[in-house]
Structure 1
Amino acid sequence: MSPRHILILGGTTEARELAALLAARPDLRVTTSLAGRVSRPGTVEGDVRIGGFGGAEGLADWLRAEHVDHLVDATHPFAESITANAVRAARSAAVQALVLRRPGWQPGPGDRWHDVASLDEAAALLPSLGRRVFLTTGRLGLAVFAHLSDLHFVARSVEPPEPPMPPHIEVLLARGPFTPSDESALLRDHRIDVLVTKDSGGTATSAKLTAARGLALPVVVVRRPPLPEGVDAVPDVAGVLERLALTP
């Protein structure tokens, strides 16, 4: 009997953790698919493939050809199109699909959060909140802020961004996790008066929120896109193992 084949759409810490646990089992075949947007994705256990599938139809064909039994979408919470294609492909190929999404951040006492639904809304709100902006929304969204010529941006990204970008911008290349003390020092050193972030969740990059709270800075939080209709997210790796009936 062939081992059960599990495809993980990866790129997150949870995806690597899940792959390591599943790859250690001889009764399973584990493949992690990476989009290829990051040049150094880190070590991933099991089989790894790089690049897209060609949309939902291409993914559905791959699921059938590789005899996949379960698909786990463990991509970034803002990888909206990937999640939509994964759900459609799994339904087309009659493959069980799970979406692994770590819980989002929630404001606490002392936080000055401004919730917005998109980067465009964030850009529209910024001039009323400050003039020196710490931007942590990823390298692919900088074009939305390119017209804000009166503001100074400090943008942090894992990979170098490409134009268009705001005319007054400093780019910091770094990968989390970060500490609250380091984040506080960064905010002070760059004289930041407003932070912009996506609601990625998790602890690797949450220290900036602690630092902003301590300095009483406003934070513009871009909320996550909704999941496809009829899809419920599993909040952690343990939940995925339980849903796949792989718990001890």
Structure 2
Amino acid sequence: MSVPAAVHVLHVLVLGGTTEARRLAESLAGDRSVRVTTSLAGRVAAPRLPPGEVRVGGFGGPEGLAAWMREHDVDALIDATHPFAAAMSRNAAEAAALAHVPLLALRRPGWVAQDGDRWHSTGSLAEAAELLPALGERVFLTTGRMGLAAFAGAALDALWFLVRSVDAPEPPCPARMEVLLDRGPFDLDGERELLRRHRIDVLVTKDSGGDATAPKLTAAREAGIPVVVVRRPPVPEGVPVARTPDEAARWVRRLYASG
């Protein structure tokens, strides 16, 4: 009696921390031909864990990531990190090349300005900070707790900041600041009330895309408030991009089907 050959299970490593990464893991969770490990950076104190295996912490650069993939027989790598995690995306591209593992970037589309928007596009947080004195005095800062040092200079001491983030920020921070600890998704009525209650006259955001935090843009448009939008960094050259978790899941299943 012959023994059937073992069926290979495709091991996919997802660099996560985003809603899209979690939804991708959920999409693949019931597929017996796929094993998913999601890696979280560990920067959020209480992350929402996806199904499947989860690891927390860094890899030690691209060489460490490549070594981990070889050690754990990873067949495919998906960079589903935040659109502004440029260093991690570069490490992923280098590690995939070192380990000879196919790489896909999962990136939700960026936001698009609509009629009535008063957007000011910038390439960095530092450039955003330079624009603020000419735009307003009460700033709603929604760029997260990382990078607040860009708004901590003496040139901005006259401005007041409402800083919204999931976890409490660490110094250096703006001189005049109130911290609002909250996690999306946010609704439009809540964003309207927040702008009104704090008398916000300028909004600063990164072009993160997605629906979870987009209502602030609608509220700002309705109130005629200028919005400073920090452009997202490009995906490393040559890396294919999926725009949705379903598209990324199809890429994984095509890999499995191709052997």
Return the TM-score normalized by structure 1: 0.97
Could you say which residue in structure 2 is the equivalent of 1:46? 52
Q: Note the 1:25-44 alignment, pairs <5 A.
A: 25-44=31-50
How far apart are residue 43 of structure 1 and its match?
A: 2.8
Equivalent position amino acid for 1:13 in 2: T
Q: Specify the alignment match of 1:137 in structure 2.
A: 143
Conserved in 1, the CA contact under 8 Å of 2:27 and 2:249?
A: no
* AA in 1 matched with 2:205: T
Q: CA deviation at 1:245?
A: 3.0
Where does the alignment leave 5 or more consecutive residues of structure 1 unmatched? none
Tell me if 1:100 matches 2:106. yes
The answer to whether residue 20 in structure 2 is matched with residue 6 in structure 1 is no
Instruction: List runs of 5+ in structure 2 lacking aligned partners.
Output: 1-5
Aligned-residue RMSD, C-alpha: 1.3
Provide the rounded CA distance (Å) in 1 between the counterparts of 2:236 and 2:230.
Answer: 18
Q: State the Cα deviation string for residues 143-188 of structure 1 (Å, max 9, x = none).
A: 1100110100000000000001111000000000001110010001
Q: Does structure 1 residue 155 correspond to structure 2 residue 179?
A: no
**Which residue identity lines up with residue 178 of structure 2 in the other structure?**
E
Choose the corresponding residue for 1:19, options 25, 30, 40.
Answer: 25
| Larger Rg over CA atoms | 2
Amino acid in the other structure paired with 2:65: L
Count of aligned pairs between the two proteins: 248
Residue 176 of structure 2 corresponds to: 168
Which of residues 114, 118, 124 in structure 1 aligns to 2:124? 118
Deviations 1:72-97 (A, max 9, x none): 11010000000000011001101010
Query: SS in structure 2 opposite 1:139?
Result: coil
Instruction: Give the 3-state SS of the residue equivalent to 1:212 in structure 2.
Output: helix
Residue 26 of structure 1: how far off its partner (Å): 1.5
Partner of 1:185: 193
Identify the range of structure 1 (136-145 vs 231-240) with the bigger mean alpha-carbon deviation: 231-240
In structure 2, distance between residues paired with 1:159 and 1:30: 27
Secondary structure in structure 1 of the residue aligned to 2:129: helix
Percent identity among equivalent residues?
Answer: 59
Identify which of 196, 200, 203 aligns with 1:195: 203
> TM-score if structure 2 supplies the norm length?
0.93
Alpha-carbon distance in 2 for matches of 1:106, 1:83: 23
Amino acid in structure 2 at the alignment position of 1:73: D
CA deviations 1:57-113 (Å, max 9, x no partner) are 000001111110110110100000000000110011010100000000000010000
Displacement after TM superposition at 1:242 (Å): 2.3
